[in-house]
Structure formats: structure tokens, C-alpha cells
Structure 1
Amino acid sequence: MSQQPWAFVAMAMVLGLIVGSFLNVLVWRLPKMLEREWRAQAHEVLGLPGDPVGPRYNLMQPNSCCPHCNQPIRPWENIPLLSYLMLRGRCAHCREAISTRYPLTELACGLISAVVAWHFGFGWQAGAVMLLSWGLLAMSLIDVDHQLLPDVLVLPLLWLGLMLNSVELLVPLPDALWGAVIGYMSLWTVFWLFKLATGKDGMGYGDFKLLALLGAWGGWQILPMTLLMSSLVGVCGGLILLRRSKIQAATPMPFGPYLAIAGWIAVLWGGQITDFYLQSVGFK
């Protein structure tokens, strides 16, 4: 890896903090927007009178406000990370505690962006993988909250990965195409085998699409590593939660965050990890 200019890494982190602030809004509002859309569609199909969704609600309107006192958040109270520190983690109006998730999301987004900038250096690859990283972070948080991987996020990123790899930005186009196909079909096959054996759904269709997305960006070569890492981390996480009595054995758990983390690692360092493993077992 060539030495990267720290100015670019610092700029990427600042940009990531700003994007992280937006992701907080996206993660909170998008599921509600989708629910309102589904409710409106059901209302129309059933021919029910009245407006089922109420006032306009999107990523821009209404303005952000404190969830406790509904006081609108002023611009200087919405500076990524800094506002939380200056306000000491409390609303400026009602003094109720602000969830630590907001600054942690901003910090995570900033650090992820800095890592991508450091890894790729200034160029189109860094910009593209930053966009992928932001999308994966948003989808992971939504999946944790709602066990939902919205098509409105997954599918555009899947197609974008194929488009970018049509000029071999990260991998050759055939690898990306087969990555998308194999990614989807592998989990689809597991889903139906599990369903036929148990009569239960083992995962959601969003997981198929997410793995297809990762294959479209990183090629089919990253899929075995992604599945292995995500499965191991998922099992370990589930066992820890079970041991701490946070969940029951039959409690559904989102698999999307584990796929996203493993896939992100594979996109950045998949080749190096594979080479290290092959050398360790004497195949290289």
C-alpha cells in the first residue's frame, strides 16, 4: 500500500461525520416512510376513505426535533459529534439524555470513511467504496431495529456496483456479475433447504439481495469468506446474547449486519486475507 496523504484521510473522516449525521435521520425516518407508503397502498386497495398517512413526512420534513420535548433542533445543536459533546449528551431545551447511538453512528461513519481513504488513496475507488460503506452502515442499523433491509437502499447499490465494475473499478465485470448471481442464489438455496426441512423461514429475502450486492462490488471471490466470517460472528454474537439472557433461543436475529461487516472487510482486504490463509496452510 502506498503512503496516503493524511489530508485526504482527514477530509474523508470529516465528510464521514457529516454523512453519519444524515444517516441518523435516514435510519430513523426511512422505515417510517416505508410503513406510511405501505399503509397508503393497503388503504387504496381496500377502498377505505380518509387519509391514512397524515402530514408530509420524508427525509427533509418535518425538521428534526428532540424526541422527548419535540423542540426543533437548531443548526448549531446538530454539528456532528461536537454538538453532543458541547451539550454533554443532553437536549438543550428539556435536558433529557440524548441517545449515545447518534454520536456513535457519526463516529463510526467517520472512522469507516477514513479507513477507506487510507486504504485506497485519493481516487474513484475510495469514493465508490465510501458510498458502499455508508449504505452498508445504514442498512445494518435499520436491520438491527426493524429486521428489514429496504430494497430502496439495497437494489440501487447492487446496480451501482455492477455499473462501476463495468469499467473494472474494483473487479472485472464477469466476476461482479457472477458475484451477484451466486450471492443471491447461495442464500436463496439455503433458505429453501431450511424451509423444506423445518417448515420455518431461516432468513429474510433482504439477506439474499445484500449478499448479491456484496458480490456485485467485490466479485464472486469474496463470497466464501463473507459467508464464513458472517456466520462465525453471527453464531458467536447469538451465543453471547443467549448466555446473557438478552434473547430466547427462538428469537429472530438480523443477519444483515454480520453480512455487511464481513463483506466490507472482504471488499477491502479479501485478497490479503486469502493469501495469508493459503500461505499459512502451505498452499502458496
Structure 2
Amino acid sequence: MPLEYYLLLGFAFVLGAVVGSFLNVCIYRIPAGESIVSPRSRCPRCGGPIRWYQNIPILSWIFLRGRCASCQVRIPIRYALVEALTGLLFAMVLYYFGIHWATVVFWVFVALLVTITFIDLDLQIIPDVISLPGIVLGFGASFLLPWVSWSDSLLGILLGGGSLFLVAVSYEFLTKKEGMGGGDIKLLAMLGAFLGWKAVLPIIFVSSLLGTLVGVPLMLIKGADGKLAIPFGPFLAGGAVIWLFWGELLADWYLQRFL
């Protein structure tokens, strides 16, 4: 690959890390009902403002040794991980889609997934203020993507939301317990809007597999009598990322091996 290509990938990583810094603000403030624009970033403990040179993605956390410059309270490494993860995803999107409208579309897409994932991990909620506009954005983006038509996107919304809705209703009818929240239903509708209807069932399968691989060991560690609530949103997001980058390869592998 030419040097210019590696420079572009580096630019995408840096851009993603900067976006990830903003996503950290969204992850903290959106569930609290606070503005994501003002006031400026501050320490949640002492309220001290975070200066620009203390807010450089990834590097500031390293240089400050994971502590607030004012009160020395420990800053979770997760902030740097969100920035690094977003940077990595931005670089991967550029690598797979090149200089194309799809790259911008899927930069927005993965940013939404990162935000949703960490909010769901923290609070086991997926805010409508993210998923519902995400459905609209995904449908609108279908007019820019040559391989996802507006009809594919619309069917993805209906199939994504409808399939999980049926699962949730059936589970509640059989067990008299709520097993899946409305946030997951809207999230899958958003995934269908961005990726089309063909992606919905593979995402459900992959996310269920990921959930099993993570959930069963956690249940064994916690014990049979322990209550364990595992949010499903991060697994849906993981399944969507896998489909985004490797969906066609997985589909071809499945067809060749089993059909």
C-alpha cells in the first residue's frame, strides 16, 4: 500500500479518537438528561474544568496517569478505551469502504453503536434519543449507499423491530417476565435501517452466540441462585460490526459449507 493510504488510515484513527472523546461526554450526559454541548468538560468529582491540553484523546489519560489534574481522583481507563475503540473502528471503516459516502455514513453508524454500547453496559438502557434518530439517519443514508436501497432499509426497520418485538412478546407470554426491553427492539430496527433487511437475522444469530459465550461463564461464576442481568445491546452492536466488516465473507462461507 502507498504511504498516502497509511496516512489516511492514521487520520481516520485520530479523527475517531477525537469523536470518541465527545462520545464519552454523550455516554455520561445523555442518560442524565444533561446538555452535551455545555458546560465544558469537567471532573465529575471536583467540578474542575478540563483544559484543552488535558483533553487530548488517549494521550492525556496516559500523561496524567489516569488521574484528574485538580483533585487527583482516578479517571477510569474506559475513557481512553472508548477513544481508542472509536479510532480503530473509524480506521477499519475507511479501510473497508475507501473514499466513499459509505465511509461517512458508517462513521456515524459506529459512533452511535459505541455510545449505545457503553450506556447500556452502565445503566441497561438504550435512550430513544439515540436509537430513534438513528433509524431516521439509517433510512436517509440508504439513498447514498449503492448496495442498500431505500426498500432494503425500510424492510430492515420493519424486520428488525418486528422480529425482536415478537420474541419479547412471546417470552413475556410464556414466562410472565420481561426478558427484552424496548430499547433493544428499537436498536435492531436502527441496525436494519443502516444495513438492510438481509443483515437482521445474521445479527440476531451472531449477537445471541456472543451473548451465550459471555453470559454462560458469568452465570457459572455467579452461581445458579444469583441474579444476573446482562444487557443485550452490546451484543447486538457487536453483531452489527461483524456483519458490517465480514458479513459477505460469513454468508459465502455458510452457503458453501451448508448449502
TM-score tier, shorter chain, comes to: over 0.9
Distance in 1 between residues matched to 2:67 and 2:146, nearest whole Å? 44
Mark the runs of 5 or more structure 1 residues left unpaired by the alignment. Answer: 34-56
1:79 matches 2:56: yes
Distance in 2 between residues matched to 1:246 and 1:70, nearest whole Å? 40
Note the alpha carbon deviations across 1:1-60, whole angstroms, 9 max, x for none.
Answer: xx9922221111110000000000000000001xxxxxxxxxxxxxxxxxxxxxxx4113
Q: Is the 8 A contact 2:67 2:74 kept in 1?
A: yes
Distance in 2 between residues matched to 1:123 and 1:160, nearest whole Å? 17
Q: Is the 8 A contact 2:58 2:80 kept in 1?
A: yes
1:234 matches 2:211: yes
Alignment-mate amino acid for residue 77 of structure 1: Q
Tell me the SS of whatever aligns to 2:99.
coil
Note the alpha carbon deviations across 1:51-98, whole angstroms, 9 max, x for none.
Answer: xxxxxx411333322233332211111111111111121222222221
Shift of 1:219: 1.2
Q: Is the 8 A contact 1:149 1:256 kept in 2?
A: yes
Which among 14, 17, 42 is matched to residue 65 of structure 1?
A: 42
Q: Percent identity?
A: 39
Distance in 2 between residues matched to 1:248 and 1:160, nearest whole Å? 43
Are residues 73 and 274 of structure 1, via their aligned partners in 2, closer, same or farther at CA, if it must alter by over 3 Å? same
Aligned to 1:211: 188
Aligned to 1:18: 18
1:252 matches 2:252: no
1:266 matches 2:243: yes
1:223 matches 2:200: yes
Q: Is the 8 A contact 1:242 1:248 kept in 2?
A: no
Alignment-mate amino acid for residue 18 of structure 1: V
Are residues 242 and 183 of structure 1, via their aligned partners in 2, closer, same or farther at CA, if it must alter by over 3 Å? same
Which among 46, 52, 67 is matched to residue 90 of structure 1?
A: 67
Alignment of 1:92-107 (within 5 A): 92-107=69-84
Distance in 1 between residues matched to 2:173 and 2:226, nearest whole Å? 20
Mark the runs of 5 or more structure 2 residues left unpaired by the alignment. Answer: none
Alignment-mate amino acid for residue 241 of structure 1: L
1:133 matches 2:110: yes
Q: Is the 8 A contact 2:135 2:193 kept in 1?
A: yes
Which among 124, 129, 150 is matched to residue 147 of structure 1?
A: 124
Distance in 2 between residues matched to 1:197 and 1:129, nearest whole Å? 38
Distance in 2 between residues matched to 1:116 and 1:259, nearest whole Å? 18
Shift of 1:129: 0.5
Distance in 1 between residues matched to 2:4 and 2:205, nearest whole Å? 31
Shift of 1:246: 8.8
Shift of 1:272: 1.6
Shift of 1:169: 3.9
Are residues 249 and 14 of structure 1, via their aligned partners in 2, closer, same or farther at CA, if it must alter by over 3 Å? same
- What's the C-alpha RMSD, in Å, of the aligned pairs? 1.9
Shift of 1:263: 1.2
Distance in 2 between residues matched to 1:121 and 1:222, nearest whole Å? 21
1:8 matches 2:8: yes
Are residues 69 and 129 of structure 1, via their aligned partners in 2, closer, same or farther at CA, if it must alter by over 3 Å? same
Distance in 1 between residues matched to 2:144 and 2:254, nearest whole Å? 30
Q: Is the 8 A contact 2:101 2:145 kept in 1?
A: no
Alignment-mate amino acid for residue 9 of structure 1: L
Are residues 148 and 169 of structure 1, via their aligned partners in 2, closer, same or farther at CA, if it must alter by over 3 Å? farther
Q: Is the 8 A contact 2:138 2:193 kept in 1?
A: yes
Shift of 1:280: 2.3
Q: Is the 8 A contact 1:241 1:247 kept in 2?
A: no
When normalised by structure 2's length, the TM-score is 0.93
Aligned to 1:44: none
Worse overlay, 66-75 or 94-103: 66-75
Which among 149, 157, 168 is matched to residue 172 of structure 1?
A: 149
1:117 matches 2:90: no
Q: Is the 8 A contact 1:14 1:110 kept in 2?
A: yes
Distance in 2 between residues matched to 1:268 and 1:165, nearest whole Å? 17
When normalised by structure 1's length, the TM-score is 0.85
Q: Is the 8 A contact 2:219 2:228 kept in 1?
A: no
